[in-house]
Chains A and B, each alone.
Chain A
Amino acid sequence: MAGNPRFEQKIVRAVLWTMTGATILILLFIVAFILRRGLPEVSLEFLTRNPENMGVEGGIFPTIVGTLALTLMAIVIATPLGVGTAIYLTEYTWENRLTRIIRFGADCLAGIPSILFGLFGFILFVTKLKLGWSILSGGLTLSFMILPTIIRTSEEAIRSVPAAYREVSASLGCTKWQTVTRVVLPSALPGITTGVILSIGRSIGETAAVIFTAGSSLHIPTSLFSSSRTMAVHFYILAREGISMPNAYGTAAVLVATILMINIVSYYLMHRFTRKYS
């Protein structure tokens, strides 16, 4: 084999393609498995009714409300912080020690496991600040978790706006801030939106950080201070405690279908955005 590089290449190529094919198959298997077993359980009633008997019967309506509330909260807090950081890094400074510290901080934050965010949120928001298990505690914790993603995607989006746009705006006598808000941000918007949508996906699927900060109450949340259970937490409890397999499959199907749609939308947006500037 060593004597024939072409033959060796053929074999290696086949092996590598097989492994790539296996990766794709695993993904397709996971999605198909959950949807095929779960979708038959999903009905309008399943989505709009309250769970009964701890989730043995009934639907998942409160968990949908809880998921939406927590995600919205996280996005509302993290987006201005993330986009602001990205604007500062791209428009208001050059590469120096300060930007390296900021980037390193964001990278480290991205690497922290969600259970540590959960521990931190539990001790700071739930215990020390006495917010209890609530949408507020959970939303704040989640927003910290998704911040690095929003910073990174916004920075990439802003950087890909051609320099000529800024030069024209400046030559017309606009201040930096006018250039940023009226020229750069509108052009970078689809890219920034992609990052936000990906973060929504991450918030929806998160369990470890949420279960210790938002709690697992099955009531429909009425204020920012109510405890609430998300779909992911509900699914985890149903599956792990073996409460109801059909309802677990149903919840999983809703979860996976939502995330599938979110990824498709963000991919479509990103594709359109990169085509525009390349």
Chain B
Amino acid sequence: MTRLERNDRLIRLGLLMIAFSAVSILIVITLFIFSEGTPIMFKYGPGRFLFGLDWYPSEKAFGLLPMIVGSFFVTAGALLVGVPMGLACAIVLTQFASKRVGRILKPVIELLAGIPSVVYGFIGIVVIVPLIRENLGGPGLSVLAASLVLGVMILPTVISISIDAFQAVPPTYREGSIALGATVWQTIRMVMFPAARSGIVAAVILGMGRAIGETMAVIMIAGNAAAIPGSPLAPVRTLTSNIALEMGYASGEHREALFATGVILFVIIMALNILANWTSARRKR
């Protein structure tokens, strides 16, 4: 074996180790969050965390149900706003807009992803919250405000993945349908949508993951009351806000309970990731 060949083998080995960095980091993160968060869950019983209604960490009341429900409401609201808007953009960009217009619009939409979440939260405080307070009543800091802002924040995810899904449909499908005399809209509705369905589902799932995981913007506009919201105008606290709000000063069991919140969040996110991975794997087959 020449020196060069030996070097090449070493390099291959080194690169293989580097290639495992992402997986290793994922494993380390999982281990740390679980090892910090699960002991307290088992000490008091997972049911107390998952179904408890009261969150008074200083009195050992660690009910996370209001936050779980809060995250669910806010995410559902975000999907109601973000999915139709995102699909509309993806359809316009892939089916209706000319190449030239598409080339201008796409980077503009991608810019939405670059805007920091604190800036979205800020726009929420100074624009959306006062609008809601003055026109619909309530404190303004609410499920509605969080849903609107999160809906815009998940747009880039929904748009870019559904654009990929539409572009993955073989062009002959579309051409065949047009040749049979269908309008562009009939083609989209009856040919493109069914063919791109699993990609669109993946887009919605990943958009959901973004909405559940978003923290700073939500803290700024959701009001953060640890109770199940009774209406869209009521304040709400999500799992992410629960961690971020109290992490700064929590200690002892309180801090462990925040890690338990992290565990629940982590499990939800991983389930969504696996689901999205599974849908897109099925599409490739």
B248-266 interface with A by 8 A CB criterion: 248, 258-259, 262, 265-266
Residues in A neighbouring B266, C-beta threshold 8 A: 112, 116
Q: Shortest distance in angstroms between A17's beta carbon and chain B's nearest beta carbon?
A: 6
**Any A CB within 8 A of the CB of B186:** yes
**Any A CB within 8 A of the CB of B199:** no
29 A–B pairs (Cβ distance < 8 Å), ordered by A? A5-B185, A8-B183, A9-B185, A9-B186, A17-B96, A19-B85, A30-B115, A34-B122, A92-B15, A102-B22, A105-B23, A105-B26, A106-B22, A111-B273, A112-B29, A113-B214, A113-B215, A115-B244, A116-B33, A118-B244, A119-B33, A119-B247, A120-B29, A120-B33, A198-B114, A202-B114, A205-B114, A205-B117, A236-B121
Residues in A neighbouring B258, C-beta threshold 8 A: 119
- Contact flags (1/0) for B260-280 with A, using CB distance below 8 Å? 001001100110110011000
Whether B277 lies near A147 (C-beta < 8 A) is no
Whether B119 lies near A255 (C-beta < 8 A) is yes
**Any A CB within 8 A of the CB of B111:** yes
**Any B CB within 8 A of the CB of A49:** no
**Any B CB within 8 A of the CB of A73:** no
In Å, the complex CA distance between A81 and B85 comes to 36
Majority DSSP secondary structure for residues of A touching B: helix
Q: Which of B8, B19, B214 contacts A176 (CB 8 A)?
A: B8
Residues in B neighbouring A31, C-beta threshold 8 A: 111, 115
Q: Which residue of B has the minimal Cβ distance to A143?
A: B25
Assuming the A-B contacts A16-B96, A147-B22, A256-B115, are A124 and B28 also in contact, with contact meaning beta carbons closer than 8 angstroms in the complex?
yes
**Any B CB within 8 A of the CB of A123:** yes
**Any B CB within 8 A of the CB of A263:** yes
Q: How large is the interface on B (under 10, 10 to 19, 20 to 34, 35 or more residues)?
A: 35 or more
The residues of A with any CB-CB pair to B shorter than 8 Å are 5-6, 8-9, 12-13, 15-17, 19-20, 22-24, 26-27, 30-31, 33-34, 80-81, 84-85, 87-89, 92, 101-102, 104-109, 111-120, 122-124, 144, 147-148, 151, 175-177, 198, 201-202, 204-208, 211-212, 232, 235-236, 239-240, 248, 252, 255-256, 259-260, 262-263, 267
- Contact flags (1/0) for B6-20 with A, using CB distance below 8 Å? 011001101110111
**Any A CB within 8 A of the CB of B116:** yes
Q: Which of B19, B118, B220 contacts A205 (CB 8 A)?
A: B118
Whether B215 lies near A23 (C-beta < 8 A) is no
Whether A206 lies near B33 (C-beta < 8 A) is no
In Å, the complex CA distance between A203 and B209 comes to 20
Residues in B neighbouring A144, C-beta threshold 8 A: 25, 29
Q: Which of A24, A80, A232 contacts B109 (CB 8 A)?
A: A24
In Å, the complex CA distance between A13 and B97 comes to 10
B18-45 interface with A by 8 A CB criterion: 18-23, 25-26, 28-29, 32-33, 36
Q: Which residue of B has the minimal Cβ distance to A151?
A: B22
Q: Which residue of B has the minimal Cβ distance to A91?
A: B15
Whether A20 lies near B89 (C-beta < 8 A) is yes
Residues in B neighbouring A15, C-beta threshold 8 A: 88
In Å, the complex CA distance between A198 and B105 comes to 18
**Any A CB within 8 A of the CB of B152:** yes
Q: Which residue of A has the minimal Cβ distance to B27?
A: A105
Whether B11 lies near A108 (C-beta < 8 A) is no
Whether B269 lies near A112 (C-beta < 8 A) is yes
Besides the contacts A119-B259, A207-B116, A262-B114, what 13 more A-B pairs have beta carbons closer than 8 Å?
Answer: A16-B91, A16-B92, A17-B92, A24-B108, A30-B120, A114-B215, A115-B215, A115-B265, A118-B244, A147-B22, A205-B117, A232-B118, A239-B121
Q: Shortest distance in angstroms between A278's beta carbon and chain B's nearest beta carbon?
A: 13
Assuming the A-B contacts A20-B93, A30-B115, A205-B118, are A89 and B185 also in contact, with contact meaning beta carbons closer than 8 angstroms in the complex?
no
**Any A CB within 8 A of the CB of B127:** yes
Q: Which residue of A has the minimal Cβ distance to B14?
A: A84
Whether A85 lies near B32 (C-beta < 8 A) is no
Whether B29 lies near A27 (C-beta < 8 A) is no
Whether A111 lies near B23 (C-beta < 8 A) is no
In Å, the complex CA distance between A198 and B116 comes to 12
Q: Which residue of A has the minimal Cβ distance to B159?
A: A23
Residues in A neighbouring B8, C-beta threshold 8 A: 175-177
Q: Which of A85, A116, A176 contacts B262 (CB 8 A)?
A: A116
In Å, the complex CA distance between A16 and B48 comes to 46
Q: Which residue of A has the minimal Cβ distance to B181?
A: A5
Whether B243 lies near A115 (C-beta < 8 A) is yes
Q: Which residue of B has the minimal Cβ distance to A208?
A: B215
Whether A207 lies near B277 (C-beta < 8 A) is no
Q: Shortest distance in angstroms between B88's beta carbon and chain A's nearest beta carbon?
A: 4
**Any A CB within 8 A of the CB of B200:** no
